[in-house]
């Protein structure tokens, strides 16, 4: 005998348990941030329309970080989206619950981590997740940037205006023929070709690692979210060429000693490349910017640039590198952490310590015209109150325009983002790893930030 109201789809829904799935099991945010990423929530129950299912957060393991009423669940075209506005730095597990017909419930757990409120960069701060060790960036057009990581051989494409995961990734390890990281530290774009270089130095223990002696190119097609990247060529002898050149010129910069066994790269007399950009009006002569050594290798020494006059032939055809005279720039005792120019050959130099991987020493931005013998001009002292060291300039605006603004990215790999004593590079979940980007206005030496 059939009972009215207990047959068909409605009856099936009352008997079945709903299902819930999160687009990611882990999520990070920041106290006071705008535009933090969220996670998708998919729910279903046999015989019940998705719109009738209720999604709530029913528990937080650490309400000091985020309470249940700090979580918002919004409807989207594809289902639901969950976002969190944290109260404090730290971790919490959030219990996400779907309630369906018949009062049936199912839950999923979201591991959430919140970094501390930043004191500089405010509304312009965004977080690039999936990696914490951003080391170089180039503009991909359409509001997107291609970002390298010095702890892997992966290139990641990010929306410059949004926090969250990369929209695309390319792992170039196999193409490069390496199993360990190249230690990518700098990049420069010419047309649809991007040149990338490893640090060329020893590792942090002073050991020679062949992978780091790599310069390579990729070809970009498309732009913005449609960007595609293809590996094209690599050269693995630039370090040796530099040492031979310096030795032939009286060891002016001490490259042989700086690369000797046991010599760590991040010393005032070490050997470590962190900047790459082309000379004014050239597509063949590139400037290698050194984090170490200073010239001379004493406190207050000048930052060093060595021009490679045939970089196109070096990478494409394996030609021995030819070098121009070293360029020594007064950056107030700081070294080059990145160098980038625009189409008008206006350069920005991101200057920082030859030693520090964090914000314990000063950082500054200098403008320059790219001409040897011409002095750079300090445009901005960068804030050093927040975790992460300033590492990459995405693109250079018109430096003559009032209120010119530039976007910088940090390497946060050594930062304790969540107050748990773990460096970001060692975090267990890629969703918790992140670098920070912020916009800065270049009106004056102490220009404002946004």
98-144 pLDDT, tens digit per residue, is 999 999 999 999 999 999 999 866 568 999 999 999 999 999 999 99
| Calpha distance 230→426 (Å, rounded) | 29
What is the number of other CB atoms lying within 10 angstroms of the CB of residue 290? 27
Which pLDDT score is estimated for 358? 72
12 pLDDT band, cuts 50/70/90, is low
Is residue 357 over pLDDT 90? no
* Mean of the per-residue pLDDT values of the chain: 94
Per-residue pLDDT at 78: 79
pLDDT at 217: 98
pLDDT at residue 209 in the model: 96
> What pLDDT does 8 receive?
58
pLDDT band at 4 (very low <50, low <70, confident <90, very high): very low
Angstrom CA distances, 248 to 158, 245, 254, 278, 414, stand at 43, 5, 11, 24, 38
299-355 pLDDT per residue, tens: 999 999 999 999 999 999 999 999 999 999 999 999 999 999 999 999 999 999 998
Spatial distance between the Cα atoms of 200 and 271, rounded to a whole number of angstroms: 8
**Amino acid 77: pLDDT:** 87
Q: For residue range 276-306, what is the model confidence (pLDDT) as tens digits?
A: 999 999 999 999 999 999 999 999 999 999 9
In this structure, what token pair is assigned to residue 205? Answer: 């223990």
Class of domain 122-441: mainly beta
Integer angstrom CA distances of residue 57 from 53, 68, 94, 445: 13, 6, 7, 47
pLDDT of 450 over the 70 cut: no
% of the chain beyond a pLDDT of 70: 94
The C-alpha atoms of residue 94 and residue 127 are separated, in whole angstroms, by 21
Query: May I ask the CATH architecture of the domain 8-115?
Result: Sandwich (2.60)
**Edge-first strand listing for the sheet containing 54-60:** 26-30, 105-115, 90-99, 54-60
Interstrand relation of 26-30 and 105-115 (parallel, antiparallel or unpaired): parallel
Looking at residue 279, the DSSP 8-state letter turns out to be P
The partner residues of 49 in beta bridges, in order of sequence, read none
Predicted local distance difference test score (pLDDT) of residue 119:
82
Q: Can you tell me the mean pLDDT for 140-164?
A: 97
Strand order of the β-sheet with 154-159 is 134-141, 144-149, 154-159, 168-171
Residues of the chain with CATH 2.115.10: 122-441
DSSP state, 364? E
- Answer whether residue 15 shows pLDDT above 90: no
pLDDT digits (tens, 9 = 90+) for 368-427: 999 999 999 999 999 998 999 999 999 999 999 999 999 999 999 999 999 999 999 999
Q: Pull the structure tokens for residue 171.
A: 């792992």
Residue 124's pLDDT is 84
Strand-pair partners of 57: 96
**Token pair listed for 344:** 């008008």
| The predicted structure's pLDDT at residue 14 | 67
pLDDT digits (tens, 9 = 90+) for 200-223: 999 999 999 999 999 999 999 999
Strand ranges of the sheet holding 79-84, from the earlier edge strand across to the other edge: 19-22, 39-44, 79-84, 71-76
What is the structure's pLDDT at 11? 58
The pLDDT assigned to 10 comes to: 58
Backbone φ, ψ for residue 177 (5° rounding): 70, 35
Reported as a pLDDT band with limits 50, 70 and 90, residue 359 is: confident
Q: For residue 271, what pLDDT is reported?
A: 98
Task: State the span(s) of the chain assigned CATH 2.60.40.1080.
Answer: 8-115
Is pTM beyond 0.95 here?
no
Q: Which residue has the higher pLDDT, 106 or 78?
A: 106
Going by C-alpha positions, the residue among 213, 203, 218 that lies closest to residue 262 is 203
């Amino acid at each position: 005998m059939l009972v009215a109201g207990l047959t068909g789809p409605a009856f099936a829904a009352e008997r079945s348990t709903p299902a819930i799935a999160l687009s990611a099991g882990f999520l990070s945010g920041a106290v006071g941030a705008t535009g933090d990423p969220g996670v998708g929530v998919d729910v279903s129950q046999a015989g019940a329309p998705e719109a009738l299912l209720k999604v709530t957060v029913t528990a937080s393991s650490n309400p000091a970080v985020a309470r249940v009423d700090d979580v918002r669940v919004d409807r989207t075209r594809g289902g639901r989206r969950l976002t969190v506005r944290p109260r404090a730095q730290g971790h919490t597990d959030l219990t996400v619950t779907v309630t369906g017909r018949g009062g049936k419930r199912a839950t999923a757990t979201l591991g959430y981590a919140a970094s501390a409120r930043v004191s500089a960069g405010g509304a312009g701060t965004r977080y690039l997740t999936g990696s914490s060790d951003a080391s170089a960036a180039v503009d991909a057009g359409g509001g997107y940037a291609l970002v390298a990581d010095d702890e892997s051989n992966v290139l990641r494409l990010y929306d410059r205006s949004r926090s969250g995961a990369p929209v695309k990734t390319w792992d170039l390890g196999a193409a490069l023929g390496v199993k360990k990281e190249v230690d990518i530290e700098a990049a420069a774009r010419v047309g649809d070709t991007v040149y990338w270089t490893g640090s060329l130095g020893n590792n942090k223990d002073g050991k020679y690692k062949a992978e780091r002696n790599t310069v390579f190119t990729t070809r970009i097609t498309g732009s913005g979210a449609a960007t595609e990247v293809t590996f094209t060529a690599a050269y693995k002898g630039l370090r040796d060429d530099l040492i031979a050149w310096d030795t032939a010129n009286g060891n002016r910069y001490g490259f042989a000693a700086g690369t000797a066994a046991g010599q760590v790269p991040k010393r005032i007399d070490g050997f470590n490349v962190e900047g790459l950009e082309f000379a004014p009006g050239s597509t063949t002569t590139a400037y290698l910017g050194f984090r170490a050594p200073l010239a001379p290798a004493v406190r207050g020494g000048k930052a060093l640039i060595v021009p490679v006059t045939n970089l196109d032939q070096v990478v494409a055809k394996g030609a021995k590198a030819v070098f121009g005279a070293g360029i020594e720039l007064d950056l107030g005792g700081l070294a080059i952490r990145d160098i980038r120019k625009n189409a008008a050959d206006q350069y920005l130099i991101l200057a920082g310590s030859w030693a520090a991987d964090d914000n314990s020493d000063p950082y500054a931005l200098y403008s320059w015209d790219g001409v040897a013998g011409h002095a750079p001009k300090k445009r901005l002292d960068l804030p050093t109150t927040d975790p992460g060291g300033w590492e990459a300039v995405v693109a250079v605006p018109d430096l003559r325009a009032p209120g010119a603004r530039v976007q910088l990215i940090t390497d946060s790999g050594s930062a304790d983002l969540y107050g748990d004593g773990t460096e970001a590079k060692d975090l267990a979940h890629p969703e918790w790893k992140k670098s920070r980007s912020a916009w800065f206005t270049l009106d004056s030496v102490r220009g404002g930030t946004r």
